[in-house]
Homo-oligomer: A and B are copies of this chain.
C-alpha cells in the first residue's frame, strides 16, 4: 500500500466497483484505450471526478493519451483485492442465502463459497452448488479451520446479533450483513451492510416526493 492510499474516503472506495464494472465491459468489447472524457460520458460522472478518484491511487497513466483499459481494469481489481481468492460462508440458508450462494459471478471474482449454515433441521443437509448446509453449532470451528475470511449474514435480526458475536470470536475478518440490524462488533472486523428495507424506503421517499412535486 502506498502512502497515498491511506485515508481514502469511503465515497471514493464506493465508486471503485463501478469503474471496475464499466472497464470490464469495455475490455469485453475489445476497447483498448479510453479518455477520461469518454469514460465520463459513458458513466455519467464528470471527467474531473474520474481524474480526482484515480489520483488517489497514483493516477493510472497519462490523461492526454487516455487510459489503457486492460491495465486500469487490472489495477483497480488489485486495489479491490480481486487478485486473490477469498473464502466465504453463508449463515442463514433461506431464500436469500440460497440466492447469494447460487450467484456464480461471486466465484468469477474470486469469492469462493466454502460452507452454508442454518439452524432449521429441514435445511440442514440440503445443498447449494454442491455445498452442504451445516448446523449452526459447527460455524465457529468451521470458520477457524478453513481460512474463512468473509461471512454473509442472511438471518433474521434477532439471531444475527448473536451469530455476529460467534463469528467475531472465531476470527472472521469481514461480515457482509443482510440482517436488518446494525452489528456491534470489534472495529478490526470489516462490516458492509445491505439493508434492503432501507433501500426500498429510500425508493419510496423519492417516488412519493416525485408524485407530490408533479401534483403541485
Contact = CB atoms under 8 A, between A and B. Distances in A.
Nearest to A79: B205
Give the number of times this chain occurs in the complex, counting copies: 2
Contacts of A199: 17, 176, 192, 194
A1 B171 CA distance: 49
Interface stretch (A105-113, A115-123, A139-147): A105-113
Interface in A174-216: 174, 176, 180, 182, 188, 190, 192, 194-214, 216
A88 to B, nearest CB: 9
Contacts of A106: 197, 200
A143 to B, nearest CB: 14
A129 to B, nearest CB: 11
Interface residues of A, number: 62
Interface stretch (A62-70, A91-99, A161-169): A91-99
B206 A21 contact: no
A176 B190 contact: no
Contacts of A75: none
A200 B176 contact: yes
A1 B206 CA distance: 12
Contacts of A44: 182
A86 interface: yes
A43 B190 CA distance: 18
A208 B80 contact: yes
B86 A95 contact: no
A196 B80 contact: no
A48 B17 CA distance: 32
A17 B109 contact: no
- Closest CB pairs A-B (n = 6): A81-B208, A95-B99, A17-B198, A192-B203, A17-B201, A96-B99
30 contacts: A1-B212, A5-B209, A6-B213, A13-B205, A14-B198, A14-B202, A16-B201, A16-B205, A17-B198, A17-B202, A21-B180, A21-B195, A21-B197, A79-B205, A80-B201, A81-B204, A81-B208, A81-B209, A86-B207, A95-B95, A99-B99, A105-B197, A109-B197, A111-B200, A150-B204, A173-B211, A176-B199, A190-B203, A190-B206, A192-B203
